[in-house]
């Protein structure tokens, strides 16, 4: 029997800020759900939140002390509000009151919660909860618009009955929906793009990285195309991790339903030919990562109008698409020092991977099983083996795609140091 895939939350740390509203009771269940999935929770409460749930209840469920005072000498001498704001992969505000949203939108920092929100270098996910009139008020709408533009993520609110007896938008999302939003945020990107950060920080500082991600769509007619099941989650995670390590990153992405990673330049393409052109335009680079699942063939003469069903099945004339990985690996003048390919296989994994490594001419090849039972395509986890051109092979355990990306980035940095 196959091992149960680890939750994408396993090993992650969430900084949870609980705002002052009746929906604060849902934060207790949210903590329980996060810890069930292997996440560590660092809880913070506003003074208002303590009017609805007790710090003892929250601390007991979180298995960690509750932080509630900005000028706590004990906390400042051990962790401090700066370290607390940056020691987690994601900051979650649940419930997020109208007051907390206003503070965050306007950069106010007059208590521990608002100071943490301003001092963090991670993305923030807010889970609003308030009376429907407060949610619909023009001031709140302006704040929400500004926060979205700043990259703040939202979960809810939803429409429903409220404690005040009214019905409408403003009800806090249920804990399981919040967990799903947290998982999606972690899978996409959790690092803020802060242009004023000091240069030189990170293992890839001063380096340029080009990453391809997602599938390609090869048109048959205006409404049909040849494609595959790639979601782009692994490629996007690599681009995000490289940016977090200080690199200048260009992400050449096929059609995906993912947000753009923060701090990354994204070039969107549809076909393999477009992807190759975008990659060539992005070179030279220090690292090239071909994580995209590029279609092997394209239709030689795509129809200008939708094909209609006839008596006989239609036949399509196909031609091979360019081999983007081999093209970059074979460049003479500006070949990147580190060229990385991916091998998505369903059987005879190592045999096919070793053959592909030799044929493509890349330095590293990331082998992953994409068979139906693996859950890799579209999933949140991946189990990979890293093959090197010198013949070495290293198998990693099943990890979240974000963690796979972080480990790969460290490997790229080591290879660059060697060269």
Q: What is the 3-state secondary structure (H, E, C) of 297-334?
A: EEECCCCCCCCCCCCCCCCCCEEECCCHHHHHHCCCCC
How far the first Cα of the chain sits from its last, in Å, is 43
CA distance 364 to 412: 9
Q: CA distances (Å), 393 to each of 355, 374, 385, 388, 407, in order?
A: 14, 20, 7, 6, 15
Instruction: Quickly tell me which residue has 């500082």 as its tokens.
Output: 205
Cα–Cα distance measured from residue 187 to residue 240, given in angstroms and rounded to the nearest whole number: 10
Strand partners, 169: 159
Rounded CA separation 376/169 (Å)? 36
Residue with tokens 């293992």: 203
Say if residue 63 is exposed, middle or buried (CB neighbours under 10 Å; 0-12, 13-18, 19+). exposed
Active site residue 362: no
Strand, helix or coil for residue 413: helix
Q: Looking at 12, 155, 164, 362, which residue is catalytic?
A: 164
Asked if 131 and 97 count as a contact pair (C-beta separation under 8 A), the reply is no
CA 8 to the chain's CA centroid: 11
Task: For residues 56 and 43, give the distance between their C-alpha atoms in angstroms, rounded to a whole number.
Answer: 11
**What letter does residue 174 receive in the DSSP assignment?**
P
Sign of CA dihedral 6, 18, 108, 145: positive
Buried b (16+ CB within 10 A) or exposed e, 78-117: ebebeebbeebbbbbbbbbbbbbbbbbbeeebebbbbbbb
Contacts of 170 (CB under 8 A, 6+ apart): 128, 129, 130, 131, 132, 134, 135, 136, 157, 162
Does the N-terminal peptide bond of residue 412 adopt cis geometry, omega within 30 degrees of 0? Answer: no
List residues with catalytic annotation.
164
């Amino acid at each position: 029997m196959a091992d149960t895939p680890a939750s994408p939350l396993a090993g992650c740390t969430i900084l949870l800020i609980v705002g002052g509203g009746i929906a604060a009771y849902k934060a207790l269940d949210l903590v329980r759900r996060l810890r069930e999935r292997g996440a560590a929770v660092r809880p913070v409460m506003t003074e208002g939140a303590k009017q609805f749930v007790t710090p003892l209840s929250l601390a007991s469920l979180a298995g960690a002390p509750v932080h509630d005072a900005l000028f706590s000498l004990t906390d400042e001498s051990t962790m401090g509000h700066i370290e607390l704001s940056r020691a987690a992969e994601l900051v979650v505000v649940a419930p997020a009151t109208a007051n907390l949203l206003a503070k965050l939108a306007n950069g106010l920092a007059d208590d521990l919660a608002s100071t943490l929100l301003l001092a963090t270098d991670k993305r923030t996910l807010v889970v609003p909860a308030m009376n429907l009139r407060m949610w619909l008020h023009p001031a709140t709408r302006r704040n929400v618009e500004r926060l979205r533009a700043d990259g703040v993520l939202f979960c809810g609110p939803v429409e429903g009955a409220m404690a005040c007896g009214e019905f409408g938008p403003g009800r806090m999302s249920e804990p399981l929906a919040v967990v799903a939003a947290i998982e999606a945020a972690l899978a996409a990107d959790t690092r803020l793009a802060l242009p004023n950060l000091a240069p030189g920080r990170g293992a890839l500082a001063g380096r340029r990285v080009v990453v391809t991600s997602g599938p390609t769509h090869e048109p048959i007619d205006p409404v049909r195309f040849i494609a595959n099941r790639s979601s782009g989650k692994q490629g996007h995670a690599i681009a995000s991790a490289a940016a977090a390590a200080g690199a200048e990153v260009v992400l050449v992405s096929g059609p995906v339903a993912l947000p753009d990673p923060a701090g990354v330049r994204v070039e969107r393409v549809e076909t393999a030919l477009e992807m190759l052109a975008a990659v060539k335009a992005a070179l030279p680079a220090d690292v090239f990562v071909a994580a995209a699942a590029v279609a092997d063939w394209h239709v030689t003469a795509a129809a200008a109008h939708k094909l209609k069903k006839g008596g006989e099945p239609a036949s399509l004339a196909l031609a091979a698409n360019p081999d983007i990985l081999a093209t970059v690996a074979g460049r003479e003048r500006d070949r990147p020092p580190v060229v990385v390919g991916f091998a998505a296989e369903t059987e005879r994994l190592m045999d096919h991977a070793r053959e592909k490594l030799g044929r493509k001419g890349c330095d590293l090849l990331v082998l992953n099983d994409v068979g139906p039972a693996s859950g890799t395509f579209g999933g949140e986890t991946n189990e990979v083996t890293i093959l090197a051109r010198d013949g070495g092979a290293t198998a990693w355990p099943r990890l979240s795609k974000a963690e796979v990306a972080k480990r790969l980035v460290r490997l790229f940095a080591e290879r660059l140091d060697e060269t």
